[in-house]
Amino acid sequence: MHTVVVGTFGVTASDVLAVARDGARIELSDEAVAALAAAREIVDALAAKPEPVYGVSTGFGALASRHISPELRAQLQRNIVRSHAAGLGPRVEREVVRALMFLRLKTVCSGHTGVRPEVAQTMADVLNAGITPVVHEYGSLGCSGDLAPLSHCALTLMGEGDAEGPDGVVRPAGELLAEHGITPVELREKEGLALLNGTDGMLGMLVMALADLDTLYKSADITAALSLEALLGTDKVLAPELHAIRPHPGQGAAAANMLAVLKGSGLTGHHQDDAPRVQDAYSVRCAPQVAGAGRDTLAHARLVAERELASAVDNPVVLPDGRVESNGNFHGAPVAYVLDFVAIAVADLASIAERRTDRLLDKNRSHGLPPFLADDAGVDSGLMIAQYTQAALVSELKRLAVPASADSIPSSAMQEDHVSMGWSAARKLRTAVDNLARVLAVELYAATRAIELREGLTPAPASQAAIDAVRAAGVQGPGPDRFLAPDLAAADAFVRAGLLVEAVEPVTGPLF
C-alpha cells in the first residue's frame, strides 16, 4: 500500500487524494517528530510561567481574558473539544473527513502548533486504522477554521463520540480505538485548540474538486466536439492561430482538445453551403472560450491550494525564536473565494452544455435531425425530458454559484465578527461538481445519438471511439422510447469515472 510521509513543510494535492480516497498509510518523518518535540518544550515552558498566554493558559474566543490555573488546564482542553463538537445535519462523506484529519495532521507536524508527538502519532494511527469520525454537515463558519468538524475529529482521538469503523459501521469511538490498540489521548495545554483551528475541511474539499474537475473539463471538450459534429458545425473556429491572438492558456487548451477529437470527421463543415448559416451559434462556436476561462480559474484555484497545502494554519502559533503569537491565519477567505469562483465556472460550463443539447433536440435549429432525436416524433418523445432534467440541474447550478464568501455572520459575542463561510462554499461546490457530471452525461447521450442519426456521414475516429465505449457501457443508441433513467445513470457513471476521456485519448493522444 502507498505510504505518505508527513514532514514539516506541508503536503501535496496528490498526498491528500492518496489518503482521502485511496486509503494510503501515513508515517511521520523524523524531522516532524523532532519539530513537534521542540515546539512542545516551548509550550511547556510558557505554561509554567505565571503570565497568561492565549491558548496555553487562558480561555478561548470571547472567554480569552480568563487566566486558567494549572490544575484546570487539562479539563479546559477536553471541554473545548466537547463543547465545539456541536455539528448538526447529515454526515459528511468519508473522503472529506479523511482529508480534514490528514490536513490537520499536516499543520500539527509543522512544529508551529505545540502539540506533542504522541498526539500527532495518534492522528496518524486513527487514519491508518480506517477509523472515520462522524462529522456533520453544519457547524463551520470557516473562521477560526472549521471548528465544529475538526472538533468531532478531535473527540474521536479522545475516545469519545461516534466514528465509522473500516467495515462502514458507526460505533462508539472508544470501542473502535480499543479494537485497534490505539490509546485515547489526554490533551494538555494548547492541544485541544490546536486540533480545531484550521481551514482543513474547506481545503480538502477544494483539492478533491480540482482533481474531479480536471477530468470533467476534458470531458466537456469532448462532448462539445461531439455536439459540434452532430450539428454539422465547422471546426475552423478551433484553428490554433485564432486562439493564439487571444492567448488565454485555458482557451488554447480547450480548442486544441476539441480539434483533436474532430480530426478526420466527415460531419464537420457541411453548413458552408447552407446560406442562412454562415457561422455556428455561440454555444458551439464559443465553447473553447467558456471552457478555457474555467480552466484558467481552476489554475488560479490550484495556486491558492498549493500555498495553503504548504501553510501552518493555527492560532496561536509557536515561532522558532520561542514566541507564541496570536494571528489571523485561520481565516478562510483565501480558500473560500476560490471555492466560490470555481462554482461560478462550473455553472457556466454546464449552462453552455445544456444550450448545445437543446439545439440538438430542436428540429428548427438542429439542421436536419428529427425532433427531440425521437424515433417516430409524436408517437415517441425521444430525449425531450432528458433535456428537462439537464435544465433543472443547470438551474440548481446557478443557485449554487451564488457566493457563500460574500456572506458573514458574527459569532462568539462579536469576537469573531467577520467569517469566511468557506466550509459552506466547499459543500456547495461538491454538489456543483456532481451536477456538472450529470449535465455532461446528458449532452453525451444526446450528441452520440445525434451522430448515429446522421446516416451516410462518418464521424471522427475519436468520436467513434467515444460512441463505441459508451455503448459498451450499457448506454443505448437510437430507437423507440424506453425507460431513460437507467441510460442516463449509466452515462453519468461513464463520465464521472473518466471513461469518456479514456476512450478518446488512445486516438487523440493525451488531452490538456
SS3 assignment, position 320: coil
C-alpha cell at 156: 474521536
Nearest to 352 by CA among 288, 259, 446: 288
Residue 237 DSSP symbol: G
Q: Rounded to whole angstroms, what are the CA distances from 16 to 21, 105, 125, 155, 307?
A: 8, 11, 16, 22, 14
Cβ(145)–Cβ(332) below 8 Å: yes
Beta strand spans in 92-135 (E): 132-133
Task: From the candidates 54, 217, 282, 445, give the one annotated as an active-site residue.
Answer: 54
The letter for the amino acid at 155 is: L
**Angle subtended at Cα 182 by Cα 165 and Cα 42, rounded to the nearest 5 degrees:** 125
Q: Which of 231, 240, 229, 239 is nearest to 266 (CA)?
A: 229
**67 forms bridges with which residues in the sheet?**
58
Size of the chain in residues: 512
DSSP code of residue 316: S
The CA-atom distances, in angstroms, between 286 and each of 170, 245, 256, 324 are: 49, 15, 13, 54
Cell numbers representing residue 206 in the block: 477544494
- Taking alpha carbons only, the member of 196, 161, 175, 158 closest to residue 75 is 158
> Helix axis angle, 249-262 relative to 287-309, nearest 10°?
130
Rounded CA-CA distance 366/372 in Å is 10
Q: What kind and span of H or E run contains 301?
A: helix 287-309
DSSP3 helix / strand / coil % (the chain, rounded to 5): 60, 5, 35
Spatial distance between the Cα atoms of 478 and 27, rounded to a whole number of angstroms: 53
Q: Give the Cβ contact number of residue 79 at 10 Å.
A: 15
* C-alpha dihedral (487, 490, 496, 500), degrees to nearest 10: -80
Which DSSP symbol is given to 371? G
E strands, 29-119, in order:
88-91
| Torsion on CA atoms 468, 471, 473, 476, rounded to nearest 10 | 170
Side chain identity, residue 497? A
4, 28, 106, 487 from 12: Cα distances, Å: 10, 15, 10, 37
Is 54 considered catalytic here?
yes
Question: Do 219 and 495 contact (CB within 8 A), yes or no?
Answer: yes
- Positions annotated as catalytic residues are 54
